[in-house]
Amino acid sequence: MEEKDGNSLSRRGFLGGSGAVGTAALLGAFAPHAAGQAASSGASASAQLPTAQQLERDTAAISPPAVTGITSRPGSDLMVEMLRELGVEFVAANPSSSFEGLHESIINHPEHPNRTPELITALHEGSAVDMAHGYGKATGKPMVVMLHATVGLQNASMAIYQAFVDKTPIVLLIGSDDGFIQAHIADDLAALVRPYTKWDAYPRTLPDALEAIQEAWNQAMTPPCAPTLVVVDSQLQKMSAAGFSLPPRRQPQFPLISTADAALLAERLLTASNPRIDVGRLRTPEGVERAVRLAELTGACTGTRANQGPMSFPQTHPLCGPGASADYDFVLGLELPATHFAIVGPDIGTLVGRDDAGVGLSIVRGRSGAAGGGAGERRTADAEASLALILDAVVASANAAGRAAVIRERSAAHAQANREARLTGLRAQMERRRRGWDASPVNTARLYAELWPHIANEDWCIGSQTNFSGGHHADLWQHDRPYSCLGGSGAAGIGYSLGASVGAALAARDNGRIVVDFQGDGDFNFMPGALWTAAHHQLPLLIVMHNNRAWHQELMFVQYLTGARGRGTDRAHIGTTLRDPFVDYRSIAQGYGVEAVGPISDPAELAEAYRRGVEVVKEGRPFLVDVLTQPR
């Protein structure tokens, strides 16, 4: 089995200027398979043109080949069993001949046809990966995407890049049909996306393929989480698997802090007079539960990023907020962005978080902590897994019982102060957002505020990026679940939100949860076919169009530049607006089978539209509300 170690090219190395290396690798990947077509030195060879028969098959102009024998247990059945063993719920795909064996096994497996995993039909490879991206952030575990060779992988490449930057686990299975259409195959398919995938393999035997699928899942799950890739040859999918069995299940291994460091962290939290825990993005809901338990056992005031992304501390937990005093004498940071490493105080003590390369977790021993000072010591470990050791150390500490009364007292003081701060902040934010409340087109703050009463008592999730529509939920809503807000695309690319929200809705479908997509109109038009997937699979998705009829950020930039150059703004709309004609999103949605209303320009009509939308979504069907809005 040929594989690539995820450490051979770091994220920073690629993003910092090794693009030329990636380009060279791509150019070398397409040496033709046919005899006599060797690439000349210093130049890429021309791809061999497909034959008429090959083109006929790809365009469905001929019938499938005659069946000469029945394979009762094909290799693809065993691959599906491997996915089931890993707990894979969904496989998204746009259908293709290179993975037709896997496709058929998913939908017709004799023991569990189209169930764990279930095939999710996507109308574009990019939206298929976006679905897996949204699902991965909502659940903390990988979804699988099947892609067709060179052309499918290239269609999906932008979405893969975004998931890589966003540190989201996804497993990509790439179909390869050697001897079919020459332009669809390559000696090294993974080279197309290797700079922004963590690990890849091209197994040549069925046992190696099963091992590779398992390893891809484990690699995607372990920090730094990211997409992984396995090329699955069509002949391995179709060969007889008689006599083969699944390899033993290997659990992913997470690097841990030492028991000594865990004990040190526990003692510092217990003995500090005013400890604080700042929580970034953990991996799974279990990690969030551990962080809550640690705060409650130690009475530590906590910070959260729950209104910016998934898997953080509950925003309205009594211990979440500024606390009774900002004079923190010990700070523990969990999976914080690198920019937050500069937390300082009278005693920085021990800080736990990702290092600046985004790899694992570091322990930084502080200036006056018991372990010594100076620049400190760093080790790689995983915060979520290490929390279990810290919790055990807290429970075992003699100080836990001795400090119980103190911990109860400071917990109560923090809870009171945090509640008052929350209410004061909410009043101030509401007052600030009243400006333009009755405006038409609709104020973006009202876009959010009017929806909140309809979902406040529901289990909900925001599946989309919200920065372009103001992100007003961050201050107005209560983000108390690990998946309340899934955040942006990671790389600030356009075309992500609808597909990602569909993926979040897949995670929500059987859990009584509502997913909300505050959907930019420019973003929507990249891959609107995700609407059909939502309708076909009956997903609980409420799409609220932020329809300002423009790529407004770019419009502002052009307006500014025309003013700076003294040329006037009367033509700034050219190339930056969606007018002449306006786009009818209600009709588009209805054409894909999604119920819809709008366009709404009177804010007084929002409440009824939201009421109807939530009602439909709770019944298990998607709904779109097209709202004409203020630009921002």
Give 182 or 273, the one with higher predicted confidence. 273
How many CB atoms sit inside 10 A of residue 247's CB? 15
Q: Count CA within 13 A, CB hemisphere, residue 591.
A: 8
Q: In which band, very low, low, confident or very high, does the pLDDT at 376 lie, cut at 50, 70 and 90?
A: very low
Helix (H) or strand (E) holding 546: strand 541-547
Residue 194 has pLDDT above 50, yes or no: yes
Residue 19 has pLDDT above 50, yes or no: no
- Give the 3-state secondary structure of 201-237: EECCCHHHHHHHHHHHHHHHHCCCCCEEEEEEEHHHH
Give 123 or 32, the one with higher predicted confidence. 123
Task: Name 101's Cβ contacts closer than 8 Å, sequence gap at least 6.
Answer: 74, 75, 76, 234, 237, 238
Model confidence over 51-76: pLDDT tens digits? 666 666 656 556 665 555 567 789 99
In DSSP terms, 74 is beta-bridged to: 240
Query: In this structure, are residues 382 and 373 in contact, taking their beta carbons and an 8 Å threshold?
Result: no
Model confidence over 203-234: pLDDT tens digits? 999 999 999 999 999 999 998 899 999 999 99
Position 502 scores a pLDDT of 97
Q: In which band, very low, low, confident or very high, does the pLDDT at 358 lie, cut at 50, 70 and 90?
A: very low
Residue 456 has pLDDT above 90, yes or no: yes
Query: In this structure, are residues 249 and 274 in contact, taking their beta carbons and an 8 Å threshold?
Result: no
Q: What domains can be seen in the chain, in order of their start residue? A: 2-34+48-238 (3.40.50.970), 259-421 (3.40.50), 434-628 (3.40.50.970)
Task: Supply the DSSP symbol for 360.
Answer: S
Position 592 scores a pLDDT of 97
Query: In this structure, are residues 119 and 94 in contact, taking their beta carbons and an 8 Å threshold?
Result: no
Position 66 scores a pLDDT of 59
Residue 29 has pLDDT above 90, yes or no: no
List C-alpha distances in Å: 497 to 113, 549, 618.
Answer: 30, 17, 21
Phi and psi at 334, nearest 5°, equal -115, 115
Query: In this structure, are residues 340 and 204 in contact, taking their beta carbons and an 8 Å threshold?
Result: no
Angle between the 285-298 and 383-396 helix axes, to the nearest 10 degrees?
30
Residue 628 CA to residue 603 CA, distance in Å, equals 9
Q: Count CA within 13 A, CB hemisphere, residue 301.
A: 26
Q: Which residues of 334-356 are buried (b: 16+ CB within 10 A; e: fewer)?
A: bbbeeebbebebebbbbbbbbee
Q: Which residues of 300-327 are buried (b: 16+ CB within 10 A; e: fewer)?
A: bbbbbbbbbbbbbbbbebbbbbbbbeee
Task: Name 398's Cβ contacts closer than 8 Å, sequence gap at least 6.
Answer: none
Helix (H) or strand (E) holding 351: strand 350-353
Torsion of CA 494, 496, 498, 503, to 10 degrees: 180
Position 359 scores a pLDDT of 43
Position 160 scores a pLDDT of 96
Tell me the CA end-to-end span of the chain in Å, nearest whole number.
51
Lowest mean pLDDT among 11-15, 171-175, 624-628: 11-15
Task: Supply the DSSP symbol for 428.
Answer: H
- Give the 3-state secondary structure of 494-538: CCCHHHHHHHHHHHHCCCCCEEEEEEEHHHHCCCCCHHHHHHHCC
Helix (H) or strand (E) holding 259: helix 259-271
Model confidence over 492-518: pLDDT tens digits? 888 999 999 999 999 999 999 999 999
Position 69 scores a pLDDT of 58
Residue 340 has pLDDT above 60, yes or no: no
Q: Percent of the chain, pLDDT > 90?
A: 60
List C-alpha distances in Å: 529 to 34, 145, 322, 514, 548.
Answer: 37, 17, 44, 20, 21
In DSSP terms, 3 is beta-bridged to: 201
Q: In which band, very low, low, confident or very high, does the pLDDT at 164 lie, cut at 50, 70 and 90?
A: very high
Residue 320 has pLDDT above 60, yes or no: yes
